Amino acid sequence: MPSTVVIMNSYLPLQAPLPLPSGEKLLKQETIRVIEKSDSESSSPIDSPPLLVDMAPLATESLTSSVLPSTMMEKDVPEVDMTAATIGSKNITTSPIQTKVQAPRKDVPEVDMTTATIGSKNIATGPIQTKLQAPRLRGASKLKRMLDGTNDLIVCPGVYDGVSARVALQVGFDALYMTGAGTTASRLGQPDLGIAQLSDMREHAEMIANLDPWGPPVIADMDTGWGGPIMVANSVSQYIRAGVAGFHIEDQIQNKRCGHLQGKQVVSEEEFYMRIRAAKGAKDRAGSDIVLIARTDANQQLGYDECMKRLKGARNIGADVGLLEGFTSKDQAQRAVKELAPWPLLLNMVENGATPIITTKEAAEMGFRIMIFSFGSLAPAVVAIKKTLEKLKAEGVVGTGKDLTPRALFEICGLKDSMMIDYEAGGIAFAAGV
């Protein structure tokens, strides 16, 4: 039965009965195992222990007679003849080692990729057409490409939880907006008065963005960044890791409120710029395409001209998009787009808020690039829930439409995707239906 020698290398400290100058010397030690092979079984080591051989010439540093006596070199380290597998006077094989060159397997047919031929079998009627699949983009890169590569208005419905986000995905919007007001209301049951913190907003944004990580990009509210430059940078880093495509950060004081309430106060111009610099720095350090949107709420307190000054400063620092919150007229909105062009602007449309109603068509004609509807799903949901619960209280029945069965509701939330995961893994959880 032929034998094979397997040599496993390791470096071990030289254990010499004499002092070693300037630290330990390492000798390469060869562990030689003899493995028996047969035609019917795979290789397995024999029971006898491996032979350990110190290979002095392979030391990591050259050993001289001052380090290792020549007598030790000559007597204690046997000569290895690798052509005959001989160590000293001991022959460890019955025949010389033959270098085995593996021949091409005869049972594997040649594949001709130009004609889709495997061996003598043709699997296509003509040449193979190589189909190059476009690389899938994460949300941030997708949103950046939408801004840089088109002049289209990106319409983003405001979503406030998983269900509203699923409905928006089903309807087919190109992007989504996670509203801070809606997050505070739905997650905490509180008004938008700066109560929601980074953990609340980031966790909510991460959940929404990852319902379909390769789908529509998600823009998220970041309020004031929740602190000074270090905290702002940390907030941006967490949003990037969460899969958020873009965010807006504003110049309100930390004790902020919804942009469509009265009594807002803003920080100084320089403090606003400090927030933008911190956000830009975090984005650059991460090498992320996340879209930085600079928002000013100064219109109510300091006027339009101050807003323009702040947005131009943010643009010079490196913000990707501008947002003037609370336009007081359509003419003011149109003026801002022209004054800041070609820098893209975002329009926040809150019906019954501070800004008069502007349609998506009007916004596109004005030249806005992004349009968010912060209360787009929250306000109708409140109206519908209230009406339904009043009916329940008065009539003792909810009155849900016949089309909205439990299964139909769960299908909006990804039931079929979950079933497919189980099926592809070989599961039978849904073999009997659902």
Query: Residue 251 is encoded by which pair of tokens?
Result: 């110049």
Q: Which of 30, 156, 160, 177 is catalytic?
A: 177
Q: Is 177 a catalytic residue?
A: yes
Is 160 labeled as catalytic in the residue annotation? no
Give the pair of three-digit tokens for residue 315: 């643009």
The active-site residue out of 251, 289, 297, 325 is 325
Q: Does residue 107 carry a catalytic annotation?
A: no
Q: Tell me, rounded to whole angstroms, the distance of Cα 153 from its chain centroid.
A: 26
Structure token digits, residue 322: 């501008």
* Active-site position among 202, 260, 275, 295: 295
- Closest CA relative to residue 423, chosen from 432, 166, 408: 432
CB-count exposure of residue 385 (10 Å: 0-12, 13-18, 19+) = exposed
| Residue 248 bears catalytic tag | yes
Tell me which of 250, 289, 297, 320 is the catalytic residue.
Answer: 250
Percentages helix, strand, coil for the chain, rounded to the nearest 5?
Answer: 35, 20, 45
Catalytic residue among 202, 257, 258, 320: 258
From 223, 251, 297, 320, the catalytic residue:
223
> Is residue 153 within 8 Å of residue 228, measured between CB atoms?
no
Rounded distance, CA 278 to CA 283, Å? Answer: 9
- Is 91 a residue of the active site? no
Annotated catalytic residue: which of 204, 248, 260, 310?
248
Task: Decide if 276 contacts 264 (C-beta within 8 A).
Answer: no
Query: Is position 423 annotated as part of the catalytic site?
Result: no
For residues 154, 196, 161 and 325, what is the CA-based torsion angle, rounded to 10 degrees? -20
Contact assessment for residue 311 and residue 355, using Cβ atoms and an 8 Å cutoff? no
> Which of these is catalytic: 221, 289, 297, 320?
221
- Considering the candidates 161, 192, 251, 289, report the single residue annotated as catalytic: 192
47 is catalytic: no
Query: Is 166 considered catalytic here?
Result: no
Which residues does the annotation mark as catalytic? 177, 192, 221, 223, 248, 250, 258, 295, 325, 348
